[in-house]
Structure 1
Amino acid sequence: MQHVIVVDLGYGDCGKGTVVDHLCATRDVHTVVRFNGGAQAAHTVVLGDGRKHTFAQFGSGTFRPGVRTHLSRFMVVDPLTLAAEADHLVGLGVHDVWSRLTVDRAALLSTPYHREANRAKEIARGADRHGSCGMGVGEAMAYALRHPDDAPRAGDCTDPPLLRAKLRRLRSNLGVDGPPVDACVEAYAAFATTVSIVDGLRIEGPCVFEGAQGVLLDEWHGFHPYTTWSTTTFANAETLLAGEPAYRLGVLRTFTTRHGAGPLVTEDPSLPVTDPNNPANPWQGAFRVGHFDAVAHRYALDVCGGVDGLALTHLDTASAHPDLRMCVDYDGVKPTRGPTGDLDRQERLTRAMASSRPRLVPVDDWTAAVEEQLSAPVVLESHGPRSEDKTSTDSAPTVAARVTC
């Protein structure tokens, strides 16, 4: 079999969900594995019959019959929003969503108390907000670092007395309001009886590993402090695979975007490009648009160790907007990878990025230009949101017939 790891090479929102759905629609995929992030993901999938869902925690292959989802130990799981997402999927005709889901018992829980603490911190930053999604995912990660033995995890939902004690300490330590602890314990106990909580990932067939956010937001190599509390490269997926080979697929748009604060060197407010799936919101802020930033994407490739192939999305947008350009160089810093964990260096890089200016060139053939600038083959072209709008080249990843391994 061949597994596929799908990673966003931008600031997120490049179309990972629609790429994962296409892989599951055209190949025999057993499980979609979520390997970073949490309920803040927003991976929109549109089917040919018009059904539409924005996937947050369920894998973006869930519309495809029989495709399972595994929430790995690197995920931050929010049982309350997961239940709401399941209800929406059931309403769209996917009636077996719960039976196709497994959750690693070691996965951290994101609770209403984390969310309250997260939002309070962002409000306190005033004009210096980092652009959090306001879902409490980063706060859950931070709390687990400060209190590793007390951080609530998915497995604790099967032990209400233990979970109750952890939630009481959590609420006290964070100093926040929120729903009564007993109400949360009751909801999480119901979650434990609904899902299959397991010890680790058991690979029973070809898997698609679905990343969240983007490499340019990586916790160690993104442009600090406008980053996520998550490793957004291929690293977590490769850890879960434990040596099994996988195809590394990087996803890019024909224009570069970011949601919220932080550097976007190619930003151009005059571009008549919008994205109805990514409106402004009070926590992340505005959805910003710029020309294709080959410099930043080359940096992302360097950070994540390269790819086997690229999926290029929004080619229909490029066709409709010939004023889109490609940035091939900066008048300023040339971002290069630094040592993992040197956040002071990353913050200096962020300041340098903010003062850089792009050198833009016109593009006649987007696929050829991206391949030339990034030195990687485009193996999947997307001209719209549906699987039917995508075409694969001969070098695209294949997933073998389902086998047990």
Structure 2
Amino acid sequence: MSHTIVVDLGYGDAGKGRVVDLLCAEPGVEAVVRFNGGAQAAHNVVLPDGRHHTFAQFGAGTFRGVPTHLSRFVVVDPLALAAEAAHLVTVGVPDPFALLTVDEDALLATPWHAAANRVRERRRGAARHGSCGLGVGETVAYALAHPGDAPRVGDVFHPARLRQRLAAVRDRLTAAVGPLPAPDVDAVLAVFAAFRDAVRIVGPGFLGDALRRGPCVFEGAQGVLLDEWFGWHPHTTWSTTTFANALELLAGAPARRLGVVRTYTTRHGAGPLVTEDPSLRLPEPHNGTGEWQGAFRRGHFDAPAHRYAVEVCGGVDALAVTHLDVPPEVEICTSYRELDRIPVGRRGDLEAQERLTAALLRTSVGERYRPDDWPAAVESELGVPVVLGTDSPRGAPAFSRDTITA
């Protein structure tokens, strides 16, 4: 059995949690591997009996008893992790930390990163980039600026070194943005010590062993249209949201690349959404306007944008389509008026991506139609077979054409 990588081909919120939960219902899944992002992820799973959890750092297979591995590409937030574990206990997972391993090389997010993130975003005013306010991007930016001094998970075994690094984060970010509302270093050290004692922290060989034991589901965060290099700069994440990180972790092991799309395209907060239609008042029990993310926006299925995502990813093997119980007013946009196609730029060329953002803000919807068969229409528009479809957040999938992990 091969492994499966799950990515969102939109702006996030396409239903990755639901898809990963269904994949983990297959027998023999060894682990869910998180390969990007951090505590800002929000993957919702609702059980048939009504129990609900928004998975952030724990994998969306947790209700199935499938362990989670946080890889070196994840930004780990011990404070948020403790809060998430506490909620999992209330919904029937007796010992969440027993299902968790963490790579020692993963970055540690701190309260100073989160506070600095919020200060910077607030100061942008009407020109906000879009943020979850949890400091994930700030943590990555700090590590890029101070690569030898950024706190990492393995530092929890070296309290003196960790104290020095935490104090440096506090001092540098305070100097950059001003006073930050955050606990003192000793309080953060105490939380990180509790994290060290609660979780299993592993070295670089752990994941390779897990991959050899059985099939793993690689759970991506956010969406390809928010990618740090290929999204609409500056309304992007500090994270690689394509298959790239997962493929690096797999080190040549075979894997199926599964893209997830909704029947309608959505995004949180600022940035282009060409097909946006304020008249689409579709219910969103798990998405709404947030202090940092901004409004939750809805639009018709944006085939040009999703085709771009498939191209940026280097191709997709199969698709999962969610929200098949879409109302009749939702249609498929097949083209834009002022832009023939969305061009794929070079990794790292953020100036070109910023020009692309401006072009997308100027374009509008071209041809649009209402399909009789949503899975067949999405398959045709994106040129990728649809193998899984879901509607209601509870119960069995609406349809499944094969065993995804086989």
TM-score > 0.5, shorter chain as reference: yes
* 1:190 lines up with 2:194 in the alignment: yes
CA distance in 2, matches of 1:49, 1:223: 39
How far the C-alpha of 1:276 sits from its partner, in A, is 1.4
Cα deviations by residue, 1:195-242 (Å, 9 ceiling, x for unpaired): 011112232321000000000000000011100000000000010000
- Aligned partner letter, 1:45: V
CA distance in 1, matches of 2:89, 2:158: 28
Give the match for residue 73 of structure 2: 74
2:172 is paired with a residue whose SS is: helix
* 1:138 lines up with 2:142 in the alignment: no
CA distance in 1, matches of 2:95, 2:123: 42
- Equivalent positions of 1:309-388 (< 5 A) are 309-316=318-325, 318=326, 321-333=327-339, 334-359=341-366, 360-388=368-396
How far the C-alpha of 1:96 sits from its partner, in A, is 2.4
Q: Check whether the contact 1:7–1:215 (CA below 8 A) recurs between aligned residues.
A: yes
Q: Greater shift after overlay, 341-350 or 92-101?
A: 92-101
How far the C-alpha of 1:158 sits from its partner, in A, is 1.5
2:336 is paired with a residue whose SS is: strand
Q: Check whether the contact 1:219–1:228 (CA below 8 A) recurs between aligned residues.
A: yes
How far the C-alpha of 1:35 sits from its partner, in A, is 0.2
Give the match for residue 12 of structure 2: 12
Q: Greater shift after overlay, 6-15 or 265-274?
A: 265-274
1:357 is paired with a residue whose SS is: coil
- Equivalent positions of 1:164-203 (< 5 A) are 164-175=163-174, 176-177=179-180, 178-200=182-204, 201=207, 202-203=209-210
Give the match for residue 402 of structure 1: none
Give the match for residue 213 of structure 1: 222
CA distance in 2, matches of 1:387, 1:160: 46
Give the match for residue 300 of structure 2: 291
Over the matched positions of the two proteins, sequence identity in percent amounts to 63
CA distance in 2, matches of 1:234, 1:315: 25
CA distance in 1, matches of 2:294, 2:391: 27
Cα deviations by residue, 1:231-259 (Å, 9 ceiling, x for unpaired): 00000001000000100000000000000
- Aligned partner letter, 1:323: E
CA distance in 2, matches of 1:86, 1:110: 17
Q: Check whether the contact 2:388–2:397 (CA below 8 A) recurs between aligned residues.
A: no
CA distance in 2, matches of 1:324, 1:27: 36
CA distance in 1, matches of 2:186, 2:127: 36
Give the match for residue 151 of structure 2: 152
Q: Check whether the contact 1:32–1:68 (CA below 8 A) recurs between aligned residues.
A: yes
Give the match for residue 403 of structure 1: none
Give the match for residue 44 of structure 1: 44
After TM superposition, the score normalised by the length of structure 2 is 0.95
Q: Check whether the contact 1:21–1:387 (CA below 8 A) recurs between aligned residues.
A: no
- Aligned partner letter, 1:184: V
Q: Check whether the contact 2:114–2:138 (CA below 8 A) recurs between aligned residues.
A: yes
Give the match for residue 29 of structure 1: 29
1:388 is paired with a residue whose SS is: coil
Give the match for residue 94 of structure 2: 95
CA distance in 2, matches of 1:273, 1:92: 27
1:114 is paired with a residue whose SS is: helix
- Aligned partner letter, 2:97: W
How far the C-alpha of 1:282 sits from its partner, in A, is 0.8
How far the C-alpha of 1:387 sits from its partner, in A, is 4.6
Selected match of 1:307 from 304, 316, 329: 316
CA distance in 2, matches of 1:217, 1:28: 32
* 1:392 lines up with 2:400 in the alignment: yes
Cα deviations by residue, 1:110-167 (Å, 9 ceiling, x for unpaired): 1100001000000110000011110000000000000011110111112111111000
* 1:257 lines up with 2:263 in the alignment: no
How far the C-alpha of 1:92 sits from its partner, in A, is 1.4
Aligned CA-pair RMSD: 1.0
How far the C-alpha of 1:332 sits from its partner, in A, is 1.3
2:62 is paired with a residue whose SS is: coil
CA distance in 1, matches of 2:187, 2:363: 51
Structure 1 stretches of 4+ moved >3 Å: none
1:151 is paired with a residue whose SS is: coil
5+ residue gaps in structure 2?
none
Q: Check whether the contact 2:46–2:52 (CA below 8 A) recurs between aligned residues.
A: yes
CA distance in 1, matches of 2:28, 2:225: 31
Q: Check whether the contact 2:303–2:332 (CA below 8 A) recurs between aligned residues.
A: yes
Q: Check whether the contact 1:43–1:55 (CA below 8 A) recurs between aligned residues.
A: yes
Q: Check whether the contact 2:215–2:405 (CA below 8 A) recurs between aligned residues.
A: no
- Aligned partner letter, 1:346: Q
CA distance in 2, matches of 1:336, 1:379: 28
Q: Check whether the contact 1:18–1:387 (CA below 8 A) recurs between aligned residues.
A: no
CA distance in 2, matches of 1:205, 1:88: 29
- Aligned partner letter, 1:44: N
Aligned residues: 394
Q: Check whether the contact 1:25–1:387 (CA below 8 A) recurs between aligned residues.
A: no
CA distance in 1, matches of 2:25, 2:111: 35
After TM superposition, the score normalised by the length of structure 1 is 0.96
Q: Check whether the contact 1:131–1:283 (CA below 8 A) recurs between aligned residues.
A: yes
Q: Greater shift after overlay, 221-230 or 90-99?
A: 90-99
